[in-house]
Amino acid sequence: MAKSLQIVPDKCTGCMQCELACSWVQTGTFQPSRSLIRVNVFDEEASYAPFTCFQCKEAWCMNVCPVNAIAVDPTTQAKVVLDEVCVGCHLCTIACPFGTVFTLPQTDKAAKCNLCGGEPACATACPTSAIEWADGDAGWLEPWGRRVAERFQEAHS
């Protein structure tokens, strides 16, 4: 069975360790603003929810790319951005309904979670197991992931 990120928002304390770990692994710096996972704060509910690329089965970001710069990693099944192919058109960031494809200001190219090649730093760093790298369907959007996505969209619309 394939592994996938399993996110349990109710366990998140908002410590942001996942953001720090991700930015370190992806960029070599501790800059949460460059992290590919984000912790959304729901002020009204006094709660937190980490979110990152859902690795959708029908990946709109990948389907819309005019130069095929998003491909499936054969090891992790993650949809990954091929930096050398990306032309920075931003169509993937527009197509992603969850806002989890980012534009890197340094290169003006797309970036999204690549599951750290099969050892996600966010899951390793999470002290409360709100993020786990576990056996399961890669479409972790159901059932609580969908609630997080809906809450995020409501908060940012």
Domains by residue range for the chain, with CATH: 3-155 (3.30.70.20)
Q: Would you give the DSSP letter of residue 43?
A: G
CB burial string 6-35: b at 16+ within 10 A, e below: bbbbeebeeebbbbbbbbbbbeeeeebebb
Each residue's pLDDT expressed in tens, for the chain with a length of 157 residues? 578 899 999 999 999 999 999 999 999 999 998 899 999 999 888 899 999 999 999 999 999 999 999 999 999 999 999 999 999 999 999 999 999 999 988 889 999 999 999 999 999 999 999 999 998 764 444 444 555 566 666 766 6
| pTM across the whole model | 0.82
CB 20 within 8 A of CB 133: no
pLDDT of residue 138: 44
Residue 151: closest CA among 7, 33, 48: 48
CB 27 within 8 A of CB 157: no
List CB contacts of 26: < 8 A, sequence separation 6 or more: 34, 35, 36, 111
CB 64 within 8 A of CB 91: yes
